[in-house]
């Protein structure tokens, strides 16, 4: 039986690791050297955040599971990440737009989580918010450059937005697990993030000459363990070594 705090911490950790893995897939394939380094750096930040969160989740659970056990030895239905982060990396416009959407939400989110009554979550958030500020600035600059760039770059960005927008609703979901933690001053109420999110999206999309889609029907399920087939493929790569050589160390 999972406790609410374990589930909540795992959701944050899984978001960070899955998105970090998607970014790491660009290593050696970036459109230019500087961007290759930037994507790898952002991946490193996210994987670092995930490590801290998994370690905390393991301690909350109290069954002796380590960060590695949680990352490498769980199957798809046990993953709690939002569907946005497991979408395949796509082209550069898709990757950078997803990074922007995630950072536009997580930056103000971590700002608030830094005041959590859970001291470890607060400490991890206070550290992570500094990193997300860089991700937000960097990805926003690219969204503007691509949107207000060539016909080709604008078209690709628009196509990415049409694909990604229905996955943004899940970031704002609150279920019973989280509601109790919000009331206890441990979790962040995503409704409180909405004004900052709207302001960032509207400002950057305005500069990027990108029309903001309407909030229509939104994808859901990842936080409950209902995933697309993409997560399974990602995990075969992420978990290959520990699944093939259990307990391998170096």
Partner 1 sequence: MGEVAAFPPEAGDAELAAAHAAAAAVCDPEVPVLTIEDLGVLRAVTRGEAGIEVTITPTYSGCPAMDLIAMQVDLALEKAGISRRTVRLSLSPAWTTDWMSEAGKEKLRAYGIAPPVGKARGRAALFGVEAVACPHCGSAETERVSEFGSTACKAHWRCLSCREPFDYFKCI
Q: How far apart are CA 88 and CA 208, in angstroms?
A: 23
Kindly tell me which of 47 and 182 has the beta carbon lying closer to partner 1. Answer: 47
Q: Which stretch binds partner 1 (CB under 8 A): 36-44, 65-73, 202-210, 224-232?
A: 36-44
Q: Which of 120, 153, 219, 239 binds partner 1 (CB under 8 A)?
A: 120
What x-and-dash track marks residues 46-65 binding partner 1 by CB under 8 A?
Answer: xxxx-xx-------------
Please tell me whether residue 158 binds partner 1 under the rule CB under 8 A: no
Please tell me whether residue 67 binds partner 1 under the rule CB under 8 A: no
Q: Phi/psi at 31 (nearest 5 deg)? A: -65, -20
Instruction: Tell me which residues in 190-209 interact with partner 1 (CB under 8 A).
Output: none
Please tell me whether residue 137 binds partner 1 under the rule CB under 8 A: yes
Location of structure tokens 């982060």:
85
Please tell me whether residue 106 binds partner 1 under the rule CB under 8 A: no
Q: How far apart are CA 239 and CA 73, in angstroms?
A: 7
Please tell me whether residue 72 binds partner 1 under the rule CB under 8 A: no
* CB 163, min distance to partner 1, A: 26
Kindly tell me which of 142 and 167 has the beta carbon lying closer to partner 1. Answer: 142
Q: Which of 29, 130, 179, 224 binds partner 1 (CB under 8 A)?
A: 130
Q: Which of 29, 31, 37, 184 binds partner 1 (CB under 8 A)?
A: 37
Please tell me whether residue 118 binds partner 1 under the rule CB under 8 A: no
**Residue 41 is inside which H or E element, if any?**
helix 33-61
Sequence-distant (≥ 6) Cβ neighbours of residue 81 within 8 angstroms: 11, 14, 15, 17, 18, 19, 222, 223, 231
Please tell me whether residue 44 binds partner 1 under the rule CB under 8 A: yes
Q: Which stretch binds partner 1 (CB under 8 A): 1-9, 42-50, 61-69, 79-87?
A: 42-50
Instruction: Copy the structure tokens of residue 171.
Output: 């970031």
Q: Give yes or no for a contact between 40 and 24, defined as CB atoms under 8 angstroms apart.
A: yes
Sequence-distant (≥ 6) Cβ neighbours of residue 56 within 8 angstroms: 9, 120, 121, 124
* CB 84, min distance to partner 1, A: 20
Location of structure tokens 């409704």:
191
Q: Give yes or no for a contact between 117 and 186, defined as CB atoms under 8 angstroms apart.
A: yes
Please tell me whether residue 249 binds partner 1 under the rule CB under 8 A: no
Give the dihedral of Cα atoms 15, 21, 23, 27; nearest 10 deg.
170
Q: How far apart are CA 142 and CA 92, in angstroms?
A: 10
Beta-carbon count within 10 A of 143 CB: 26
Please tell me whether residue 180 binds partner 1 under the rule CB under 8 A: no
Kindly tell me which of 177 and 238 has the beta carbon lying closer to partner 1. Answer: 238
CA angle 217, 223, 224 (to 5 degrees): 100
By the criterion CB under 8 A, which residues form the site for partner 1?
A: 34-35, 37-38, 40-42, 44-49, 51-52, 119-120, 122-124, 126-128, 130-131, 133-134, 137-138
């Amino acid at each position: 039986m999972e406790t609410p705090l374990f589930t909540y911490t795992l959701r944050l950790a899984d978001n960070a690791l899955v998105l970090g893995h998607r970014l790491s897939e660009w290593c050696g394939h970036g459109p230019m050297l500087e961007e290759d380094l930037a994507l790898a750096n952002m991946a490193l930040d996210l994987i670092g955040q995930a490590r801290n969160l998994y370690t905390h989740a393991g301690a909350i659970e109290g069954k002796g599971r380590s960060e590695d056990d949680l990352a490498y030895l769980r199957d798809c239905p046990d993953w709690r990440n939002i569907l946005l982060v497991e979408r395949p990396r796509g082209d550069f416009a898709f990757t950078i737009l997803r990074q922007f959407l995630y950072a536009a939400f997580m930056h103000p989110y971590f700002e608030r989580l830094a005041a959590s009554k859970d001291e470890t979550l607060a400490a991890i958030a206070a550290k992570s918010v500094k990193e997300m500020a860089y991700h937000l600035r960097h990805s926003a600059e690219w969204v503007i450059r691509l949107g207000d760039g060539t016909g080709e770059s604008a078209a690709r960005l628009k196509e990415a937005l049409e694909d990604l927008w229905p996955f943004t609703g899940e970031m704002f979901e609150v279920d019973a697990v989280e509601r109790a933690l919000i009331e206890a001053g441990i979790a962040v109420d995503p409704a409180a993030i909405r004004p900052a999110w709207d302001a960032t999206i509207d400002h950057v999309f305005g500069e990027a000459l990108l029309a903001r889609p309407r909030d229509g029907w939104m994808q859901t399920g990842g936080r409950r363990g209902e995933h697309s087939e993409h997560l399974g493929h990602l995990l075969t790569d992420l978990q290959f070594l520990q699944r093939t050589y259990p307990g391998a160390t170096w």
